[in-house]
Structure 1
């Protein structure tokens, strides 16, 4: 996963050097609350996180970049600091993330966009069996941050804008170390944006999107901690998508997941977990962000009390029908692991 983030950061750095169209810097203050997604987190969740973020972004207005998602979109880097309001137990998170922000609607004064991001967080307080046993949110000082943020911007002047936002943030270590309940904290934001280069957006005609079903094969790979060290966790997906609009689609499929870190009684086949799922897809040209709800048909004895799980997957079409991406598996509000995914559409 670290290699993926490194390569992603290099791509963003290349964008900063050569983008020539719209450049902006934003500063935002944030305030929110923690969701106690299990009973043993209730006591330490009674705090109000606060902090700030600094965001630098570029938007290219040429048609080639527009066709990547059939929309104008910002790519950027964001640094954020969030204090969880409990310095002795939960502490704070300092995070660096890569961002993708498509513009969904715009007129002369108002702009509505949807910011999504993934990156790394440094946590200054983590679980310790002796000195900090109450913090079961996270146990690794370097963890992953994922968030989704609808934004509304009002143009104050040619080079200035005011933004209001609402973000849903999730931090966990992707199952690399336990305990790993993960922390979920929504935050409202208010900030200013300074445009250093602000060219008008041209009008491009959208292509007619085919409504024919799309079928795909997808595989996922990660590792999980087992009794004898880290063991592979492999999944195979066969599914279909039915596009409904230019940016929305619904789908269904079957996922076969085998976690070699799980204990079995007689045979490794016990660790095979088939799960049919339904899915919603945000389709932005070459980008597909899917949210899947799956139900276990079978799972090993003692493995997780949930019948259902979610998998959030961000895929990018590399060439022709081949795509790559990353995924996050979660049970309710609790993240289990992140993985690298690749597949083929036909």
Structure 2
């Protein structure tokens, strides 16, 4: 399957390159590229343990946005586009291979005539050929379902070697998980080194930059968000598999070191009906299950977008709740009115607990 996917991606790359070459130069630059991915470590949480790190490739198609309207969205030049990738986990018994696709957003950190540096955020879905089965694959605790969510980030540099070709190199990180839809769901992290070749339309020229005025002179910000999620509890001999809602409130205050860089912290209140039922199965009766968490971390603001990363410590938690700390990462969009929406993921290291939908206000 991996070999057939590689052939398919190569054919698609050639077809897109020819098509792009036949189109007149557009106002915004277009790119199509093929990257090779080499994993940086071997996961030790799978039985049998893989002896080699994952390898893969990724086909990208994207557009550079250079208009004033695009600039106002994130106060940056950025690329956005779609990707198709495939991985061999080099562990045919437990993990097999995967094929995934999705969308990405890639702001430029530095931009020069022949080279640039960018950071990417992506989201999509992926199919894995080997998922957990109590009989045939009990050692795979990473994937509880064949179809999983795919999120990731990366840091890349491109350099133009001719009028239509660039080389790309950088660091790529992806996380595969089903967000607790079905257990087990420890997830899998894939940090990788990447190199690639990119065909682009037009010439390697410096795109225009636009000045902007800060939306406000305030250094302090406050944000309140309502959270909602669903998590599935495994079936037992007595109980069927069933999803339980998780609700909460997130209150954050922050200080702008600069317009883009914010240190922030606050508290989170959680009503976790999933854990309530889990305690019932453990102890035979209901116990206090609500949680209060103290958060602290960093946010990167680009125009209307905000990337958030916080560490959390559960100061109030139910009996048997482990571990007491977790990480939380979010992508938010703030409208001019302050109305804010987005998504967040809660994780303990490689173990993804759940994804959350967020809505609220930022002042």
TM-score (norm 1): 0.88
Q: How does 1:36-185 map to 2 (within 5 A)?
A: 36=43, 40-41=45-46, 44-185=49-190
Query: Which deviations, in whole Å up to 9, do the C-alpha atoms of 1:218-275 show, x marking residues without a partner?
Result: 1111111245721111120111121112321110110011111223569978121100
| Partner SS state of residue 222, structure 1 | strand
Pick one of 182, 204, 212 that aligns with 1:206: 212
CA contact (8 A) 2:119 2:153 kept: yes
Is 1:28 the counterpart of 2:46? The answer is no
- 5+ residue gaps, structure 2, are 1-25, 234-238
| Partner SS state of residue 207, structure 2 | coil
Is 1:326 the counterpart of 2:333? The answer is no
CA contact (8 A) 2:269 2:293 kept: yes
Whichever of the two has the greater Rg, that structure is 2
Q: How does 1:192-341 map to 2 (within 5 A)?
A: 192-197=197-202, 200-208=206-214, 210-226=217-233, 229-262=242-275, 263=277, 264=279, 270-303=288-321, 305-341=322-358
- 5+ residue gaps, structure 1, are 1-18
Tell me whether 316-325 or 56-65 shows the greater mean CA deviation: 316-325
How far did 1:28 drift?
A: 0.8
CA contact (8 A) 1:222 1:233 kept: yes
Calculate the aligned-residue CA RMSD, in Å: 2.0
Query: Which deviations, in whole Å up to 9, do the C-alpha atoms of 1:131-177 show, x marking residues without a partner?
Result: 11111111111101111110011111222110001111111111111
How far did 1:345 drift?
A: 1.2
Partner of residue 13, structure 1: none
| Partner SS state of residue 68, structure 1 | helix
Q: 1:67 to 1:82 in 2, by over 3 A?
A: same
| Partner SS state of residue 31, structure 1 | strand
Query: Which deviations, in whole Å up to 9, do the C-alpha atoms of 1:11-46 show, x marking residues without a partner?
Result: xxxxxxxx851111111111114454xx64485243
Query: Which deviations, in whole Å up to 9, do the C-alpha atoms of 1:108-133 show, x marking residues without a partner?
Result: 22211001101101111101001111
Q: 1:163 to 1:52 in 2, by over 3 A?
A: same
How far did 1:324 drift?
A: 1.0
